[in-house]
Amino acid sequence: MRRNVMIAVRAVVAAVAVSGFATAFGAGTAQAAPQDCTVTRDLTGAAATCHDEGPAGREYALIVECFGLHGVPNAFPLMAIGPYQGSWSGSFGPSGHGTASCLGPMSIGTATNAYVAIYRD
pLDDT, one tens digit per residue, over 51-60 is 866 667 788 8
Taking Cα atoms as reference points, which of 62, 49, 45, 37 lies closest to residue 97? 49
pLDDT digits over 2-52, tens only?
A: 555 444 444 444 444 444 444 444 444 444 445 678 899 999 999 998 886
- Chain-centroid distance of CA 75 in Å reads 21
99 CB neighbour count, 10 Å cutoff: 15
Q: Domain limits of the chain?
A: 2-120
Q: DSSP letters along 14-56, please? A: HHHHHHHHHHHHH-EEEP-SSTTEEEEE-SSEEEEEE-----T
- What is the model's pLDDT at position 54? 65
Q: What is the pLDDT of residues 66-117, one digit of tens each?
A: 999 999 988 888 999 999 999 888 888 877 889 999 999 999 999 999 998 8
